[in-house]
Structure 1
Amino acid sequence: MELQKASNGHHDLSPDKIPENGFDALENMTDGDIFLPNKSNGNTETQFTDFEGKTSFGMSIFNLSNAIMGSGILGLAYAMANTGIILFVFLLICIAILSAYSIHLLLKSAGVVGIRAYEQLGNHAFGRPGKILAACIITLHNIGAMSSYLFIVKIELPHIIQGLLEMPDSSDYWFVDGRYLIIIVSVFAILPLTLMKRLGYLGYTSGFSLGCMVFFLISVIYKKFVKEYPDEHSYNETVPTESIYNSANDMSEAKFITINPETAFTIPIMAFAFVCHPEVLPIYTELKNPSKKRMQNVANISILAMFVMYLLTATFGYLTFYGNVKPELLEMYSKKDTLMLCVRLAVLIAVTLTVPVVLFPIRRAVLQLLFPDKPFHWVHHISIAVCLLFLVNLLVIFVPNIRDIFGFIGATSAPSLIFILPGIFYIRIVSEEQEPLKSRPKIQAIAFVTLGFIFMIMSITFIIVEWVTGKKTSGGH
């Protein structure tokens, strides 16, 4: 992609052709500088992309919020049970702020060199090895996220159909077999959405997906205040009655600060709840009237909205079941409860509509590696989407426990996308003349990268401990 500057003529400023010390015009850009063409008094100013963004501010918020929202929301009540209310809120605030800062580093790096893809930032910072590293991490992380979403479809959709048709759990009809159902959902629901040419078109489905999760949140709050008795199947039959209703039991009292062996396992779950970084630059590219400040506002509003949803879901889920809460909150509710059956369906729709948003960055990464200089081509666009869905379907169908396999990938890719890559790209791309290595912004970025490595080491350690001891933890994006 060529970077063009309109003055008396167009000068080629392609990242591959610019000297390492020749970014004078680009380095002087401010936060208000645009990222796409802008006509002013008949003159076209700096152009950084090959088409003008047309996605509205609101639709961009829907898309980024949908990218943040993941299956991990179902495990946050369990995380609160193992940290306590005060410690959970403190950690969630810290992680939300760090995530917003991480996006700030990405946008500032992109503004300096005028490129719009994570992989291209890697290419500018470290050459082809950096480009390949960024593309591989994005691909592995998002394939893991897609697999976790489809795994929820595989497990929950048969129960929903059985509940709606009042069929016994032992039914062996093909239409309650999760393996067939994920293929049907992938072909008829996910594939058509992945064939959209631009991510901005998914704003409507992203908004609907978020609406489904709001319904889930409202139902969780409702169930806290409208408790039915166990013989009315308000709760999952596997939860001991005396544990729920005996207020003298420690498992039925709210804890403000809790430290136990499971506490360390819940911190990565919370840290990974705000992973959306592969989608940030594609959404930025398609934003109407884009600037770093405008895109940062999109990110801040999206993170704030998800922070509120995460906090409310965790709080009311925890205050309903206290220490008895399971790693997946929906497991606590009876499958015979009509309201919660509808909630399960809403969550299923939400994760299904999130898959196309997650697939877009993978396709962009593959295109950057295989066809970096080729224009848009429908054959490439469609074939990569079909191959990715085929691969993910195979994994979900034949792998019995998808989270164990992708746990290690998530432990390495998520800290890389949130902390490490944005930090090192920023340090490498922003010149010494503009910000010396000992300047406050650079020192903050170095500390940020260090924190990312600490998170990665912690996460890998927890995964290994889980494998060795056989302990079960929750996860998912």
Structure 2
Amino acid sequence: MARGAPASEGLPPPDTDAVENGSDGPAIVRIKVSPGGTRPDVRILISEDEEGSSSMSSVFTLCNSAIGAGVLSLPYAFRKSGCVGCLILCLVLGACEAFTLYVLSKFAERYQAHTYSGLVRKALGRKLSASLSAILILYLWGSCIAYLVIIGDSFSPLIALGVGDESFLADRRFVITTIGMLLILPMCFPRELGALAWVSMAAVIGFMYTAIVIVIRGTEMVMERGDLHDVKLFRWSFDALFAVPIVVFGFNCHANVVTIFTELDKKPALLIGALPADPAEYAALPGSFAPRPRSHKMVGMLGVIISAITVIMLGYLMVGFSGYLAFPTSVEGNVLKSFPTHDILMQVARGVIGAVVTGHYPLNHHPARLAMEHLEQFAFGWKDISVAFSAVQSIIFIVTTIAVANVVTDLGAVLHMVGGTAASYMIFFLPGLLLINAAIVKRTASMANLAEEGQEGNGNATASSATSALESQEELAMSFLASSNEQGIKRVGLIYSPRKSWWAGMTFVVLSIVIFIITIVTAFVQ
């Protein structure tokens, strides 16, 4: 799909979406510009009755966006921080990441954004959006390399069982290259995530199978050993912090959440019966941070997020506890390597995990492609990016990840670094800025209204008395803001706003910085 021209040119973006407000919420208008043309020649109104992705398929897609290399390292995280310590870490970080998923979806609806980069561009400005695109590309590129490494490590031993260790068919590099070019490459060409729904469903089922096998084998080993002498509830050491970026990486599915929300049906099924079905009912919920969805679609997305994070959480805890209890002192970064190689169930689990990350690769490539196109539009001002050029970019992306995966065999340290830096930036830092920006917009709008009321009541004694209470500096600020069309961070900068969303956003920004520092320090300590 072609990208749009800059808004300053006065033309609608080619083959993009505009929004018209109907009686029951926004409807989407798709505008097409003929190749080389300067005026829109086709307008297609997407019917409000047109069905999007179902709630269940969205849960599968969101789960598959998170499930990947991180699940194999959860037992290692438990080993680092202890059973109860890592349990608390998973619950706290999982809840925080679920909240930021809701934040991204909420602002995607408010700003009519269809991608993460598009949301940041509309809310925070083009420069910050470009920085997100660059970080997103690096993060997803590194993640895809990790998935190819896992594919090689998973399938090579299985193939060796049939053809022998010396056969070139069992060579790790041959396996990675063949699967990458013949299977992964075709799955990366579709431009809508809905086309990969079947991959998502199969991947989640495969992940659950692997979790069950690890639980069974781990429980058997614990029963045979007969004691939990080496199991620690907490580990009070600096080394325990190494688990933080691993858990952050494990729950990360934020790169795709805006697209998943966009493709969700307008009135999706409510997956959680305890949630109110009517958006109006949320206004009466107690608590400062209770969700306030304004549409049926947002209510449905809330259920999708809670369901997906719950599934991911349960699966991760099953794998984490079982793997750690089975090997409390020796579990490796890839838990499957700790189990015997001759175990048939574990061999199947290795194959299943290989299949899971094979399906996960296209879901990482999708936002990476959008980010590359956004960077090209920002840097070169291109109006159109053809399907052929987009395909070439995809091929280059895949070939380079295959090349690196054939050389690098251990990406444990890289995953740790990527999870605590780039992932934390997307998960906590930018959603925090969005919350801060919303608070600033509300405050500056309120100040502008006060300034306008003060000007209108200049001759009135009561209004004059109220106006005299204002400081001269605040009057100048209000005068400036009243004349500004854009009153958020990208116009007035990072200023204080006495609102809960400002403090919530600042908390997430600080959290991302703390995680970044922890990641850098623990990487050098290790």
Instruction: Give the alignment's TM-score, normalised by structure 1.
Output: 0.80
Alignment match, 2:522:
462
* Corresponding residue for residue 255 of structure 2: 278
User: 2:272 aligns to what?
Assistant: none
Q: CA deviation at 1:365?
A: 0.6
Q: 1:323 to 1:110 in 2, by over 3 A?
A: same
Between the aligned partners of 2:170 and 2:348, the Cα distance in structure 1 is 17
Give distance in 1, aligned partners of 2:75 and 2:408: 27
Q: 1:314 aligns with which of 314, 320, 345?
A: 320
Larger mean Cα displacement after TM superposition, 312-321 or 336-345: 312-321
Unaligned runs of 5+ in 2: 11-17, 32-45, 268-296, 447-495
Alignment partner, residue 218 of structure 2: 224
Where does 1:383-422 land on structure 2 (aligned, <5 Å)?
A: 383-405=392-414, 407-422=416-431
The 8 Å contact of residues 158 and 176 in structure 1, kept in 2 or not, is answered as yes
Identity over aligned pairs, percent:
23
CA apart distance, 1:392: 0.6
Cα distance in structure 2, aligned partners of 1:217 and 1:210? 10
Q: 1:334 aligns with which of 340, 360, 374?
A: 340
CA displacement 1:288-327 (0-9 Å, x = unmatched): 2163332232122111110010111111222222233222
- How many angstroms does 1:421 deviate by? 0.9
2:128, 2:265 → 1: CA distance?
29
Match of 1:47 among 17, 20, 28: 28
Q: 1:113–1:44: structure 2 CA closer, same or farther, 3 Å change rule? A: closer
- 2:400 is aligned with 1:423: no
2:306 partner letter: N
Deviations 1:207-262 (A, max 9, x none): 10111111101111221344599xxxxxxxxxxxxxx8474x843xx322222343
Correspondence for 1:180 among 174, 178, 191: 174
Alpha-carbon distance in structure 1 between the residues aligned to 2:56 and 2:86: 29
1:418-457 paired onto structure 2 within 5 Å: 418-429=427-438, 431-433=441-443, 437-457=497-517
Q: Secondary structure of 1:324's match?
A: coil
Q: Which residue of 2 aligns with 1:288?
A: 265
Measure, in 1, the Cα distance between the counterparts of 2:77 and 2:84.
Answer: 12
The aligned length equals 415
Larger radius of gyration: 2
1:378 aligns with 2:384: no
Question: How far 1:371 sits from its partner (Å)?
Answer: 4.3
- What runs of 5+ residues in structure 1 fail to find an aligned partner? 2-13, 19-34, 230-243, 467-477
Change (3 A) 1:134 1:313: same
Aligned residue in 2 for 1:111: 109
> SS state of the match for residue 124, structure 1?
helix
CA offset digits 1:391-410 (Å, max 9, x no partner): 11111112343344564444
* Superposition CA RMSD, Å: 2.9
CA distance in 2, matches of 1:223, 1:266: 23
Q: Deviations over 1:381-424 (max 9, x none)?
A: 32222111011111111234334456444432011011101111
Partner of 1:205: 199
Q: 1:99, CA displacement in angstroms?
A: 0.3
**Shift in Å, 1:58:** 1.1
Alpha carbons of structure 1 residues 81 and 350: separation in structure 2 relative to 1, 3 Å: same
| Contact 2:433 2:505 (8 Å CA) reproduced | yes
After superposition, the C-alpha distances for 1:336-376 in whole angstroms (9 at most, x for unaligned) are 11111111111111111110011100001111222477567
**TM-score normalized by the length of structure 2:** 0.73
Counterpart amino acid of residue 197 in structure 2: G
Q: Distance in 2 between matches of 1:82 and 1:49?
A: 51
Deviation at residue 166 of structure 1 after TM alignment: 6.8
Matched, 1:195 2:189: yes
1:401-454 superposed Cα distances (whole Å, 9 cap, x missing partner): 334456444432011011101111332255124798211122111111111111
Cα shift at 1:74 = 1.1
Q: Which residues of 2 match residues 26-41 of structure 1 at below 5 A?
A: none
Higher relative contact order (CA 8 A, sep 6+): 1
8 Å CA contact 2:332–2:338 kept in 1: the answer is: yes
Distance of 1:64 and 1:37 partners within structure 2: 28
